[in-house]
Amino acid sequence: MPWATRAIPRPRLRRAPPAHGHGRLAAARRRFRLLRKVGHMPRVPRSAGVTAAALALGLLATAPAVSDEPAVSAPRVVAHFDLAKGQSPENIALEPDGSADLTFSTARQVVNVTRQGRTRLLATLPAVTNPQTPVVGRAVVLGIVRVQDGTLYVNYATGTRATGIWRIPSGGGKPRQIAQLPPNGFPNGLALDERRGVFYVADSVLGTVWRVPRSGGKPTAWAEGALLQPLNAPPAARVGVNGLKVHRDAVWVSNTNAGTLLRIPVRASGCAGAIETRATGLFAIDDFAFLDRHRDTVLAALIGGSEIAQVRPDGTRRIVLTRQDGLSNPSSVAVRGRTAYVPSAAYFKQPDPNLLLARVHQRDRG
């Protein structure tokens, strides 16, 4: 999101090197040979080879299990944008051809960027007279969703009646508002539940997840509570629930001030279940993406520290991309197959708004 304050230094997580399955296997074999050398494992006749093999397998079983969770490598910046023109990429949706649709928050634009870095304007949200947008004080375009027919939907925060969800025709064109949201709110993350035919909107200021019919209309406060509320915490005071994804019968959200990743089950009735905290300590987390639809591992944009964290289902995490890789206040993440897309908004003192691509791959199995 377009932050109004600057980043505050904080302790950095060490970037862990990727694990190697073959390295763990080699370690187990060295342990096996050492035990034989010091006499704890006598040599056995060839006829007892089965017993020795079984013992070796037992030693291997004591080694830590090799995870198959993806790691990220080969980052490359494919497009640089002009900060002076308001080209701060805030959120992302992917096209079937591998290109990315980005919202330029303060320019009020939606653009398409190819994997080769070519940029094409799709739409500009209408200017608003005297915007009174909370937190930032100006009109900004935020979350974006693409549906199967190519239509795009975006959140527009203005502090006026223009605040809400806007629709952009496939291929670009004139935006049209389909739903109003509270002018005193800040509609940030956006996702569509295709099966239920509803949008979910994360309101960062009101600490609410709104539910809106896909066709548009009146919003309903679907989830509220202390875990979604903003705090007076740097570097994003008054920014609570932010990123939002629909995943495995639940709505997942981030809380930027609290540094948390949360899961809200969707009950059979469509109502929200109890909010679950799935990870903590994610400093200035913005939006995030799941690595695949069958698991709960995510890549999370930590905008304050210019990092991407891989967050495992048990809440543990490691840093997989940093400023040294080209990040400049990353604001969101998207994953398609073996490619991760990371827009950097450069909201603070980082000089380079850009779009970075990286390879997502499986660890070797031991």
In this prediction, residues 123-132 reach a mean pLDDT of 97
Other Cβ atoms less than 10 A from the Cβ of 6: the count is 11
Rounded Cα gap, residues 309 and 282, in angstroms: 8
pLDDT exceeds cutoff 60 at 331 = yes
Rounded Cα gap, residues 74 and 319, in angstroms: 15
Q: What is the pLDDT of residues 279-304, one digit of tens each?
A: 999 999 999 999 988 999 999 999 99
| 3-state percent helix, strand, coil for the chain, nearest multiple of 5 | 15, 40, 50
In this prediction, residues 48-55 reach a mean pLDDT of 37
Rounded Cα gap, residues 83 and 113, in angstroms: 16
CA diameter of the chain: 89
For CATH 2.120.10.30, list the domain ranges present in the chain.
71-361
Considering the entire predicted model, what is its pTM?
0.82
Other Cβ atoms less than 10 A from the Cβ of 193: the count is 16
Name the average pLDDT for the chain. 86
Q: Please name which of 256, 252, 203 lies closest in space to residue 231, comparing C-alpha atoms.
A: 256
Rounded Cα gap, residues 67 and 264, in angstroms: 26
Dihedral sign for Cα atoms in the order 340, 345, 346, 348: negative
**SS3 (DSSP) at 113:** strand
Rounded Cα gap, residues 309 and 291, in angstroms: 12
b/e code 115-150 from CB counts within 10 Å (16+ = b): eeeebeebbbbeebeebebbbbebbbbbbbbbeeee
- My answer on whether omega of the bond before 235 falls inside 30° of 0, hence cis, is yes
Torsion of CA 186, 105, 326, 334, to 10 degrees: 70
Instruction: Calculate what percentage of the chain has a pLDDT beyond 90.
Output: 75
pLDDT exceeds cutoff 80 at 363 = no
**SS3 (DSSP) at 100:** strand
Fold observed for domain 71-361: Neuraminidase (2.120.10)
